[in-house]
Amino acid sequence: MQRIENYVTMDFLSRSNNEGFMRVAAAGFAAQLDPTLDELGDIKTAVSEAVTNAIVHAYPDSIGRIQVKMKLLESNTLEIVVRDWGRGIANIEQARQPLFTTGGEERSGMGFTIMESFMDVLRIKSAPDKGTTVVMRKRISRRTKR
């Protein structure tokens, strides 16, 4: 278990305009680790995908609660946990397959694939009608001082 250096927890409603806010909040929090612009972009994209999944899939016909916990762990690692209490995922392995979606024709079905490609760790826990928790970790490269 890695020691927690700093953390923040945010609760918000599953409204689409909160996705952009969480992108900025995650970038601001991650900035403590002095990430490169590419690393920051990866974090923002992964958070955007996780929050959008919760908004679109967990609460397709209603507004619900989403919680994001961000932790700075020792060894320059950022952990982001996105949790909802929505409809859950019946088959996680199927949901992780590229192009699989329950969100209709306008959804790409690439959310988990994108999160996995931009983060070092992606874990998903879900139960039907109980919600989903997505855990992502990314180790930030230490840069030499200029």
pLDDT tens digits, 84-120:
999 998 877 777 665 555 555 555 556 788 889 999 9
DSSP 72-91: EETTTEEEEEEEE-SS--S-
Q: Give residue 145's pLDDT.
A: 60
pLDDT at 121 over 60: yes
Give me the catalytic one of 107, 116, 137, 139. Answer: 107
Neighbour count for residue 100 (Cβ, 10 Å): 16
pLDDT at 77: 96
53 is known as an active-site residue: yes
Per annotation, catalytic residue among 18, 19, 39, 49: 49
Inter-CA distances, 63 with 25, 76, 106, Å: 21, 35, 20
Question: Looking at residue 92, what is its pLDDT?
Answer: 74
pLDDT of residue 142: 80
pLDDT at 67 over 60: yes
Predicted TM-score (pTM) of the model is 0.88
Closest CA to 127 of 63, 79, 83: 83
Assess whether 107 carries a catalytic annotation.
yes
Average pLDDT, the chain: 89
pLDDT value at residue 109: 56
Q: Give the pLDDT score at 146.
A: 44
What pLDDT band is residue 1 in, cutting at 50, 70 and 90? confident
Please name every residue paired with 80 in a beta bridge, in sequence order, or none if there are none: 70, 136
- Does 116 participate in catalysis according to the annotation? no
Catalytic residue among 39, 53, 83, 87: 53
Question: Domains of the chain (ranges plus CATH)?
Answer: 4-139 (3.30.565.10)
Q: Is the pLDDT of residue 82 over 50?
A: yes
Q: Is 106 left (phi over 0), alpha (psi -120 to 50) or beta?
A: alpha
Question: Pick the residue with more confidence: 18 or 143?
Answer: 18
- Residue 118's alpha-carbon distances to 19, 78, 98, 107, in angstroms, are 18, 13, 15, 19
